[in-house]
Structures are given as C-alpha cells and as structure tokens.
Structure 1
C-alpha cells in the first residue's frame, strides 16, 4: 500500500518505533539490527548521552565512518533532548576545529585515528573526546533506557554544516519537524515500502545522506551503510544485499555506469535518486540502459530547506533537463526581480516556503537574514522562506528548469566547496600573497577546483611546498586539481582581483 504524506510531525526519535520488530532495520558489516534491536540500542544510547551531556539542547558531535554510531546518533541525540552535529569524516582537523568551536559541542565521539589528528587548541576546553569503541563499551554498561520522547517538533534537533560561498562552513539548524517531514515526503514520492533495502553510500553528515536512513526507516525498510573505495564495491553490495534503492550524485553515477553490473545486482533495483548536481541527457540514457526496470528520480535541494523538487520518472525521457515540481510539503515559487511571481518561461529566483524550511544558521544572524526572509506575498504558506539565490524558470506545464547560480560556490563530486575556504588555506601557508579558487568544468566531477596564486617573493620552493601544505590542511575533495602561478593578478577598476578575468583565462 502506498504511503500517504501525513503532515503531522513527530519527534525524530519516533522513527525507531516504526517497522515490524523482527524485520531488519540496519545491516552492519558484522551483524544485522532488527527494528526491535534498533529500539533497544537507541534507548540505551540516548540514556547514556544524558549522563555525558545532561544540559538540554547541548550539542554532541560525531566524526566517524558509517556504522552503528553514526546511524543511531541522529535518533538517540534527539531522544536525549540534545542536538546532533554530524561531521563529514572526510574533513580534516582545521575544519573540525571550526565546527567544534562554532557549534559549542560538549562531546565529540569519533574514530580513534581521526581524533589523534587533532592538535592543541583544536578542541574547546569544555568539549570531551571519546573514541567510538569506548563509547559503546560505556553504553553497554548502562542499565537505564529512555522511552520515546515527547519533544516539541519545533525544537532544534541537528546542526548540519555546509560550506558557504564566503567563509567557513555554516551550521544549518534543523528541527525535529524538518527532519521528520523530510523523511515522510521522500518516502511518499519515492513510493518506498517495508521490503525496500537502501544502500547508504552518501555521507551521513549531508541532509541527502542522512535522509537515506530516515526515509527508509519511516517506510519500515532496511538500510545498508557503505563506505566504498571503488565503484565495484557499490556493485558488489547491491548484489549481496538485494538493494532496491540507490542514491548518488552525478560524478558517482558516471563511475557506476562505467562498471560492470551483473544481473543479480540490477534485477532487485526499483529506484535511483540523484541530487547534488544535474544529470546530463547522456548520463540519463546510460542509467536507463543499465537499470531498465528502475525508476529514476532527479531531484533538486538545498540544505537550508532539505529538498525542493523532484522530476516524476515518467517525465525523465521527455524532459531530461527539468528539475520537476515541488515535493510534498514544499511550496516553490519563482520570483522575478520586482518581487512578483515570474510568468511562464521567465527567469526568477527559486524561493522555497513551507515546513521543510530550516531554522536559520547557528549563531549567525547576519547570514540568516540574508537567506531566510519573509515569504513572498503570493505564498500560500507564508512565514519565513529560503531565498535560494538560484535562478530558475517554470514552463507552461509547471515544470522547473535550472538557469544558474548567483553565488560562486564550487560543486565538485556532489560537495559544495567554499572558494574562500580554499583561498584562506592557501594564504595561511605563508607561501602565497594572493589566491583565487575557481571551479572549472570537469566531465567526472562536475567542477574541479583550480587555484590561481601569486607567490610571496621569499618562497623559493612554493611550487612544491604549497601542494604539500594544502594536502595537510584540506580534505581530499577540496584539493586543487591544478595550481596556476601568476607574477601578478588582474584587477578590476575598483582595484580588486578580477575573478571574471581569471575565470576566462583558465576556462572556468
């Protein structure tokens, strides 16, 4: 029976109470947790968390690979009345230090090898570090259990850090209702059922990645978390577990369509979902050729409102470049420069209204006011809306099409990369006097990071020293594909570096 999109939000931890008790909920490398196990483990973990962070609303962070800890913490922290701060395991110490300080986290649970990379001054004095194995040992010694919570659905539940076009990552504040209704919405329009098996390959620190868990559990299905090294690892996991649902970003889809897919990996597949960048017509054709019986769902979203649109699989062949229409619970308007609803075919800004809109940026009133503003007068929902900065148009049939971005974000392999963050890292080395990071079109990545720099006169070995320094300070997905050295940077009439001229020079 198809799920109905019930608009009544519940506390997020109630997702653990869905699903039939003996059915598999989480398939780990060494064991499988049934829904009964899931409920028991969430109850124990949440009870332990209250002893580690007794203050309501305290932030608890995780920095680890996919596993029981990272999968259960979103529900356990919510049940304990805490705020979960998932940190991308690909990030390095400088980014982690910023997130810990900015969020005010009082506890960081992580992989021992990752925690060992943190240096003096990276961890706030009131933040405790704990290796994930030691955390589970402590949980196993706790006899108390917490029952499902009675939290207000509007209470803050999680802070997800996302890069901005200017400066360091900013924390998007999500409520229980945001995350619950996101799970309900996706489970509904994907048509998920209790016998579905989702292979969770995306990072759980992303809203798209975390929703792999939440929407599947809402439907009573099973999740198989996977950290993969090669595309063939994904193929093997699909065959081994009878995966029915696979979510990815375009660069991964390119790799997966180049892999060899045996029939036992293809046959169970019911649906493919894409976000984090648009699919090309060629890639759509390859996906449909590889998975002829699976339904393909192209989607568009932004962390500040989770997900905005999806394209009905029945329209993919005839409208392969469309963003589709609003998902359940989202009201999507196209607003022209005069503040009115744009006419069909006219370009405007995508504005997202409704209960999926986040609560703003953590402790950042200025940037919150820039992005989260009153809904347009034409909105039926009203309240605060997310003004995306993305330019779109709506055709006469109501389908949306992406036009371009206002900001300078680099989108590489599904990651949103702040140019300023890369530039700041380069300048911090002391090897360069000026730096500009740009995204250059790349067939496999979407965009590759290119860095244009001018060396300081005293840096005789800057050409070899800079890449080494950046490899220590930036995660792999932020590493420049190419560094372009300049004796002088072009400037505009205002005396600022002419980024447009540099972009033309390097083909950005």
Structure 2
C-alpha cells in the first residue's frame, strides 16, 4: 500500500503576493502593537513596500535579506520582495554576526533590511561589498504612503524566497522556494486545518522558518487574521490567547512543554480551536496533557522538511488512538516509503521517506553537489514523477497507511524545534586556542527534545574559554548544555574520530566502566 494524496484537479498556483487579494477587503488581516489592519489596507502596504524595494534599481531576481523582529515589515516582506521581482531571504533574528554574514555572502544579498541595533553588530567584513543596508524604520515608513506596485504576474516556478536551514555538515544551506511552493503550501494547510475567515492565528514561530512563515500564508489563504508575537515567557502566549481571542496556535514540543505547565483558566483554554506541532515529535505524556488542558481544540501533529515544506499530518480524530504516528500525506504531497533500490517498501517494513509533488523545492542555492544528494528523480512508483526529496529519514507505514518515524540518518541535532548543525558548533570550538578537536552531539532532554553535548580534546582549563567563545559567536539555542574536556577521542581504522563510539561512551559511561 502506497501513501499518497494526489488530487485529480490540483488548484492552479498563483503568485504568492496575491495571497491577500481573496480576503474580504474590510476583514481584519494583521493585528498587533502597530494596530489592526484590514485586507485592503495590508494589500496597499504590500504594494508600497514593493515600490520602495523596486526603487533601489536592483536587477530582477536579486536577493533581499531581512533581519528584523516580528511586525508589519517582517510579515509583508515575503510578499513585497517577490512583487518587486526580487527574492526574499529572511534571517532568523536569533542568529549572530557569523551566521548572518554567511547567509549574506552565500545568498549574494544586494540589500539588507534590519533593525538598527542588529545592523550595528555587523562589521564591514560581515557584509558583501555590493550589499546596501537600510533600517527597518525606513521600510515601515515606506508602507505608509506613496505609490504602490500592483500584484505581480510572476510564473509559478519563479523563485520567490530562499530559506536557510542547517545541514548535518557545514554552514546553513539555502532552500529555493518558488511561488507555487509557497502558494500550494498555504492552500494545503488551510484546507486540512479547516481554517476560515473567523480564525485568528497567534504567530510565535520565527518567520525565517517555513513552518513559521506558513502561519501567515495559510491564515491569509483562509481569510483569517494573524497576530505576530515575539514572546518573552510562555505566560505572554497565554495572555495573548485571552486578549485577542486566538483560535489557532502553532508550536514546537519545547513550547508545548512550557505551556502545559501554566495554570490556564478554563475559559481561556477553550478559545483555542486547533493546535499544530512540528519540529519534533510529541511524547505520549505531552499529548495526554495537551488533550486534557485543551479538550475543545483539535491537535494536529505534523512532519515536514524545509526542502518540501510539509509532508504529513495526523488527523485529530486519530491522535488518541495513534499518538506515535506521523500521520499521512498532506494535500498535494505524494509520500512514498522506499527500499534502497527505489522500490516501495511493504507494510511495517522500514524504508526512506521520499516526498514527491509540487511542494518539492527547487534545490539548494548555488550548491549543486548537495542538491544532487537530496533532490533526485522520483521513484518509479510515483504518480507525480519529476524531482523528489529523499529525506534521509527512515520510517515505516502500517496497514492503515499511517507513518511512524524510525530514525534520522544524518547527524542533525533537533533542539527546541531548531535544526542545529554539529559542524557549526565544532568549528567555533576548535577556533579556541588549546582545542585540538571537537564533537557535538544531541542528547535526550525532556524539555528541548535534544540538548547539545560538546566534547573537546583539550585541557580542562580551556573549557571556560570555549564557553565564552560560543556565547559570543552562536545563538542561544546552539549553546551546549555541557562541555566535556577529554584527553583523547576514539578512532576508527581510517584514523577518523569514531563518533558512534564517542557518543556511546558519553551517553552510557556505566557500560564502559
């Protein structure tokens, strides 16, 4: 039995900057500290922001990066940049200058829009010579007046955005997303979440993530209203749910762990109609607590890849009976479980998850080698054909067509919903004098899913220097929970570090005693 949802008549993808056009003109579309904006007002703001961007005279397809906190500019840049014929590159506000510099140089950004304080952290060496910088305040001002560019006539396959995601080795890589990728992703999620014009989504996830950005697009596709929030504490989330009558909340497991620890008034919890989760699996105890705390809300566990947006979801009706399942394919996605030879695996037989269909991205920006590793021709059994994303994740499919996660083939660390590259941490550590080698591992953590454990081959007195370096160079979510100095690392016959043996020794020291 294959797992697939290939529609007979899939909708025609439109340019992503058209997403606001179908909303009722006077209906609320964006709420927040800057006030309430209707669909008509927001559409005008997109046109004005696009005109401001076009005024810089950049060539079509030039990359425009934004490094800003949540607000109207952050919410509309994903629409305004492609309307101006440019490609948007959102940068996670939590990143620091080294990661930001890599993204700017790798993407070839010609323009960086950032908050004044963030731009001040960048040195001349962190910004490409032909990349101009402008304050977020200037962009916000441009949205308040002046001419507006009309909706674009972009083709479905035109590049609209580059989202940077960490890989198991090396620096973050840019995933190229087309207008069709973004439009159909919004349509698919709005459909299976059963969203409508009366929904209000609290956007707590960063817009630099595909999951976070889709909070906006799927809500607008359904005609609802979004409320962006940079929260400081989980209690801030609960307060906003109450004040703004929030119906929809997307989160990652560590956030849900914190939210279920709060004392939610019954009438406030009842305002939530749907909860969505991705970025890591929900544990059975956490599912039980969420179901007890929010009995009126539908819970949607989901699995996704930035390279193919979203792959599967578990319908709320199956959460109680199948809490460990990843669910089945979302609309417009074809999901196959295949053997190493490309044939479809049998029921309950482990195989690699392969995602086919129009949600598959266009590859990694300026990285044909890594693109060829992950984006390959679809298996012969595919209905869609074309290029597919070979996830590297091992899953199994039961007799009902439901998927279950088995293991991750790469070395990525997933902590608090973030995909962390061990190599980035290791490179920062070995830059410290006295550190010969470094290995970063993900270790189980009840709150984070995984925490970072860093081993260094160095003397013990070097540990404080490494801690200081990592705090200065890496965002908080990459900071190790512990740093252990070891006199030597185990080696394989080729002389390379034996990461498997090292991990086993660190996680199970009693077995090696």
**Shorter chain as normaliser: what TM range?**
over 0.9
- Name 1:85's counterpart in structure 2: 89
- Name 1:410's counterpart in structure 2: 413
1:67 aligns with 2:71: yes
Q: CA deviation at 1:491?
A: 1.1
Out of 246, 256, 261, the residue aligned to residue 258 of structure 1 is 261
Matches within 5 A, 1:84-483: 84-140=88-144, 143-455=146-458, 461-483=461-483
Distance 2:434 2:190 in 1: 50
Point out where structure 1 has 5 or more consecutive residues left out of the alignment: none
1:83-106: CA deviations, max 9, x gaps? 000000000000000000000011
Q: CA deviation at 1:465?
A: 1.4
Distance 2:139 2:386 in 1: 41
Distance 2:434 2:82 in 1: 45
1:126-166: CA deviations, max 9, x gaps? 0011110123234546x221111111011000000000000
Q: Secondary structure, in 3 states, of the residue corresponding to 2:455?
A: strand
Distance 1:379 1:465 in 2: 52
Q: Secondary structure, in 3 states, of the residue corresponding to 2:280?
A: coil
- Name 1:23's counterpart in structure 2: 27
- Name 1:13's counterpart in structure 2: 17
1:158-209: CA deviations, max 9, x gaps? 0000000000000000000000000000000000000000000001000000
Q: CA deviation at 1:340?
A: 0.7
1:13-35: CA deviations, max 9, x gaps? 00121211111101121311111
State the TM-score, normalizing by the size of structure 1: 0.97
Q: Secondary structure, in 3 states, of the residue corresponding to 2:264?
A: coil
State the TM-score, normalizing by the size of structure 2: 0.96
- Name 1:491's counterpart in structure 2: 491
What value does the CA root-mean-square deviation take over the aligned residues? 1.3
* Length, aligned pairs only: 501
Distance 1:431 1:12 in 2: 50
Q: Secondary structure, in 3 states, of the residue corresponding to 2:124?
A: coil
The change in CA–CA distance for 1:240 and 1:97 in structure 2 (over 3 A counts) is same
Asked which structure has the greater RCO (Cα within 8 Å, sep 6+), the reply is 2
Distance 1:294 1:94 in 2: 41
Q: 471-480 or 20-29: which moved more? A: 20-29
Kept after mapping to 2: 8 A contact 1:6/1:184: no
1:32 aligns with 2:36: yes
Q: Secondary structure, in 3 states, of the residue corresponding to 2:122?
A: coil
Point out where structure 2 has 5 or more consecutive residues left out of the alignment: 1-7, 509-513
Q: CA deviation at 1:267?
A: 1.7
Q: CA deviation at 1:119?
A: 1.4
Q: CA deviation at 1:338?
A: 2.4
